[in-house]
């Protein structure tokens, strides 16, 4: 319609600005493809395509227009102000074209571009400036490295160490480590751990290099975020620090973190192992996902704790308290109950509490195992029978006649009336 009526009948710059402000990118794309750039508001188009991450439209408009017809400084400000990683390839092409076509580099005010790039962490732009604009302008390699560590950009950090001599960076590896650690609970954990590992390897950091008074706070935040790589590193490298090892052990047990438990095992003699085993076993202390018994991380943790307890003696734990606490759970995991019956001495556990819990929660195989392994005179079968029946609300006799609880059937098969 615009073409039929005639472009001169419309204020195309105003229409272009309206399309940009309302984010109607289809209309904007049509303008770019069909109307000569001088009739349009090119600077508004550049800004809009960057904000909306439309590198295709940005490249199209830049291919149609002579760069010399534009205010180069204005274009540089735009691509820096609205820099988007999705458009980085096109942006760097624009910057290169402007740089190469400008004889007087001073008019481009590259110092301002570099400062904005620092502030916004536009690493690709900073890397390009170093590779192409030296010696007119240089980047602060130390500053960029610190920013890269903050932002978990391992690729940028590696580039810096390859491009600059490590000694010329004049930076303390321990400081970089603390910067990276402080960001592990703010950004994707996998990336942050990769960053921390790279710093440790590249700067050969030891525990004695860390002088911050905030290590305990970092341990707590790492536990909250389940970042056990950092927790383990601090425990091993700063073992002389007075960390709350009981708190760390309890949390590690709740999260099935075997490596952390192993590191703390040398302190078990001084820790509350009863609480630790409760934290592994109980639903309210941890997230529950049932898995195969032999490969279950929870089972592996229980076995690790129990093996270590056996080394220092059973007196270090209260077996009855552990089992009683587990039995109070509304839903005891099958793997936990199986581990208890297979590993703990049956004569030291409150076996009737276990039997009643298994009846209430219809753990038929566990009931069978108890009836097979424990003498009947040691079991309060009547109470367990009643608890099994009470799991079916309504008239007990009617329920027994029409839909017997499976645990009741087990009693009957064992000849218990």
pLDDT digits 0-9 by tens, 264-275 = 999 999 999 999
- Burial of residue 279 (CB within 10 Å: 0-12, 13-18, 19+) is buried
What pLDDT sits at residue 21? 86
Query: Three-state SS across 229-282?
Result: HHHHHHHHHCCCCCCCHHHHHHHHHHCCCHHHHHHHHHHHHHCCHHHHHHHHHC
Contact 281, 254 (CB under 8 A): no
What pLDDT sits at residue 398? 40
Confidence of residue 170 (pLDDT cuts 50, 70, 90): confident
DSSP 45-57: HHHHHHHTT-HHH
Return the residue matching tokens 């710093």. Answer: 199
The answer to whether residue 381 scores a pLDDT higher than 50 is yes
**218 vs 378, which has greater pLDDT?**
378
| 399 contacts: CB under 8 Å, gap ≥ 6 | 389, 392, 405
Q: pLDDT band at residue 22, thresholds of 50, 70 and 90? A: confident
Prediction pTM value: 0.69
- Write out pLDDT tens, residues 123-167: 999 999 999 998 888 899 999 999 999 888 999 999 998 888 766
Say how far apart CA 112 and CA 115 lie, in whole Å.
5
pLDDT at 67: 77
């Amino acid at each position: 319609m615009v073409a039929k009526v005639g472009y001169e009948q419309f204020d195309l710059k105003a229409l272009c600005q309206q399309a940009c402000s309302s984010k109607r990118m289809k209309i904007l794309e049509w303008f770019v493809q069909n109307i000569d750039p001088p009739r349009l508001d090119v600077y508004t188009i550049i800004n809009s395509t960057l904000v909306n991450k439309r590198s295709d439209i940005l490249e199209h408009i830049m291919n149609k227009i002579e760069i010399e017809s534009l205010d180069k400084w204005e274009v540089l400000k735009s691509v820096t102000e609205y820099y988007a990683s999705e458009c980085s390839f096109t942006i760097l092409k624009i910057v290169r074209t402007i740089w190469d076509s400008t004889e007087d580099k001073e008019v481009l005010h590259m110092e301002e571009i570099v400062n904005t790039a620092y502030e916004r962490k536009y690493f690709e732009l900073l890397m390009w400036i170093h590779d192409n604009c030296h010696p007119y302008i240089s980047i602060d390699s130390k500053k960029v490295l610190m920013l890269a560590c903050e932002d978990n950009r391992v690729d940028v950090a590696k580039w810096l160490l390859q491009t600059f001599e490590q000694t010329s960076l004049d930076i303390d590896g321990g400081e970089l480590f603390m910067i990276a650690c402080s960001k592990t609970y703010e950004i994707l954990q996998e990336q942050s751990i990769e960053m921390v590992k790279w710093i440790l390897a590249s700067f050969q950091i030891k525990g004695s290099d860390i002088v911050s008074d905030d290590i305990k706070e970092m341990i707590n935040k790492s536990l909250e975020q389940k970042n056990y790589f950092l927790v383990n590193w601090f425990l091993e490298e700063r073992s002389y620090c007075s960390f709350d090892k009981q708190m760390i052990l309890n949390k590690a047990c709740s999260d099935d973190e075997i490596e952390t438990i192993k590191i703390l095992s040398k302190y078990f003699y001084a820790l509350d192992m009863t609480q630790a085993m409760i934290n592994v076993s109980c639903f309210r202390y941890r997230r529950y996902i049932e898995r195969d018994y032999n490969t279950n991380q929870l089972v592996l943790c229980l076995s690790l704790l129990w093996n270590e307890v056996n080394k220092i003696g059973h007196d270090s734990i209260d077996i009855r308290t552990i089992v009683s606490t587990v039995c109070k759970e509304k839903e005891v995991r099958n793997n936990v109950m199986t581990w208890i019956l297979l590993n703990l001495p049956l004569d030291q556990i409150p076996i009737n509490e276990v039997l009643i819990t298994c009846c209430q929660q219809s753990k038929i195989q566990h009931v069978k195992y108890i009836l097979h392994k424990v003498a009947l005179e040691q079991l309060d079968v009547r109470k367990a029978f009643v608890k099994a029946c009470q799991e079916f609300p309504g008239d007990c006799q009617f329920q027994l006649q029409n839909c017997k609880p499976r645990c009741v059937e087990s009693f009957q098969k064992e000849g218990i009336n």
